[in-house]
Amino acid sequence: MRRPVIAANWKMFKTQAETRSFFNRFRSLASSLRHCDLIIAPAFTALAAAVEAARGSEILISAQDLYWEKEGAWTGEVSAGMIAEVGCRFTLVGHSERRHVFGETDDQIHRKLRAALAAGLAPIVCVGETLSEREANQTEDVLRRQFNSSLTGLTAPEFSRILLAYEPVWAIGTGRTATPDLAAAAHGLLRELASHAYSSASSQNLRILYGGSVKPENSAALLAEEEIDGALVGGASLDPVAFAAIAKSAPGGPLEQNRSV
Ligand code: PGA
């Protein structure tokens, strides 16, 4: 079984002070969550505070985005090296808000992915279709295009550092969650693409997170799917108790252990 990953995407929420207060509460809750990897992605301005607040725990810190150049006249941008230096181990790449609100292209996402890998960060690459693409039966084509263009040409060791997140755009921040079987089918397709592009072994080791209105009320059913290796949580991750409850519901966690006694 692949080890579950429960990741928080805080988007443009939480100051440094709010980040510290989240960790004050979350660290004690996280001590019973050894069955999964816990990743938190605060805004750039709170990364250092989060790294400091997570020190000595198993909680890992991620950026939400990066720029692919190392340094230079790129006003407003932050490089992979800068993110790594703060103490982050991960970065999101190609989140749907970056693609659809800020117009990021597959090519830009590929460059970001390469820059992240070169700086020693593990990229969490987000893919997913819009509602109109799903309604037009284009989900497979969209996932294939996004996978093939952003995840092309990596070595096997590079590919092994990637986490993938399937986030149907119509489910993000809308309260509409994909059903577990619909999400599992998309994950299965992504795993097949990984097997074609790399190898069966790499695809079996690849962890694919589901994202889109994940909450404590729906996380257990989603995470029970064999194809779903974790969750990328937006809104519900802002509350330490709700985020811990989602992590708790992952296979191998305290909820499952209680059920089996
Ligand atoms: P949501 O966001 O959980 O608020 O839908 C998920 C995401 O955007 O990563």
| Residues 78 and 43: beta-carbon distance below 8 Å | no
Q: How many angstroms is it from 72 CA to the middle of ligand 1?
A: 32
Q: Could you give the domains of the chain?
A: 5-260 (3.20.20.70)
Please give all residues whose beta carbon lies within 6 A of any atom in ligand 1, as ranges: 9, 167, 172-173, 211-214, 232-236
> Of 5, 210, 233, 237, which is best to mutate to test ligand 1, by the most ligand atoms within 8 angstroms of its C-beta?
233
Strand 230-233 to strand 60-63: parallel, antiparallel, or no bridges (unpaired)? unpaired
Provide the mean pLDDT of the chain: 95
> Of 13, 174, 213, 219, which is best to mutate to test ligand 1, by the most ligand atoms within 8 angstroms of its C-beta?
213
* Angle (CA) 20 26 30, round 5°: 140
| Residues 26 and 58: beta-carbon distance below 8 Å | no
- pTM value is 0.96
pLDDT per residue over 85-134, tens digit each?
A: 999 999 999 999 999 999 999 999 999 999 999 999 999 999 999 999 99
